[in-house]
Structure 1
Amino acid sequence: MTVQNNLFQWVRQHKILAVFAATLLVVGACKAAEILMPAKEIALIIGEPWKDMQARSTAEIADDIPNEIWYRVPKDLAYLKFADPKYEFVTPPAKCFSISFNRGFVYSVRMSPQVEPLPLQESLDIVLDLQNQWRKSGWELEDPIENPPYEDNTEWRKAIEQCTAYSTYWQARDFYSILISIGCFKDSRHPYEKRYLITMAIGKYIDYDSDTDNSTPHGK
């Protein structure tokens, strides 16, 4: 009996194991492709038409729903490029990444700018890099006394480790606003290690003391 016939006979006798092995091969191939394939870009400006974001981005994202308020998730692993030329910044690739629309316009972004829960230092490094980008492009802290920026020091490390680190808020004049925080996350793949998840939200700046609508993109 040939090797091919032996293999065929084994597969017939062990159908469940064969299916399981084939599934592992497919999943492994998908994971390998995901690692090897570079992340694509979602480039947007809060308040712009949804179709403008689609045209500018290399990552695929579905159409909005006419006259509805909802959200979409990029179909590819993607990073965010905030495309307002005056307040531009770029995040790392994000697995958790959603963009909401309001009747045809980009309304807000919610994401964790990482592909998996990370150790403390790696999480903090991402936030520090984003804060540096915001400072360079003109973003300012909304309340530097009550909600100061994240720093690489003992006080912040202790707060993050104890899951008590608060959010900090940034704004681009009266156009846009950002919330960012680092929280604890239980990762079943690393049961004996502490892991952390960054939460980041971007939307239009809302001045609750004013009736002005700032949903139009800056410079338009």
Structure 2
Amino acid sequence: MNLSEHYNQLYKTSCETITAGKYGIDAELKNDSDSRFGITLLIRPNEEIKANIQRFINELKKAEPEQYFYPDSDIHITVMSIISCSTAFDLNQISPSEYIEIICRSLVDVDKIKIHYKGVTASPSAIMIQGFPSDETLNNLRNRLRENFKKSGLQQSIDSRYEIFTAHSTVMRFQEKLHDPKKLMEITEKFRDYDFGDFDVKNIELVYNDWYQRKSTTSILGDFGLR
């Protein structure tokens, strides 16, 4: 299944689920003692893209103001979840420099990554912007990371939840009962094919993060510039 087909199928099934009132609510969003942390390699969109995304978020907020919306600082694309967030993980269990070395090795010959944000999709508990890499560079990088980390013997949980191949950004999560699921999906339908723009990835970050990539709890471990 290609990326467009994947997003389309996800949207269709999730739209039906949400409209039927069978959506999921993330109870952990309001849990101040949530201690699930991990390390992630990620991409952040540029300011122009984030401004376009906020126009969509503002529409969502009008309909569902009590839900959780990602601020500009937290919007991202996951390149690879290297250690999935869990209460069992703490940064003092690893040596970040060893992870940085493997990432640097994986980035050799990575010339340019370009992402096109076009349209929106959904899961049963969230709304997302669809991202489309311009070529196979991102997937090739992911495969190198998989191979190099699995050879390394370092602590990692790559692909333990699912094998990542998308380039989406989550912008809204459900933390309360929806006021009007049908209205929410009407807004997403309006932006279903909206062109949020494209951008060249200037750098990739390695971060120690909570489940929601909140800036307040995120530490940058490495910053890797692309040519």
Aligning the two structures, in what range does the TM-score lie when normalised by the shorter sequence? under 0.3
- RCO higher in structure (CA 8 A, sep ≥6): 2
Larger Cα-atom Rg: 1
Instruction: Give me the TM-score of the superposition, normalised by structure 2.
Output: 0.22
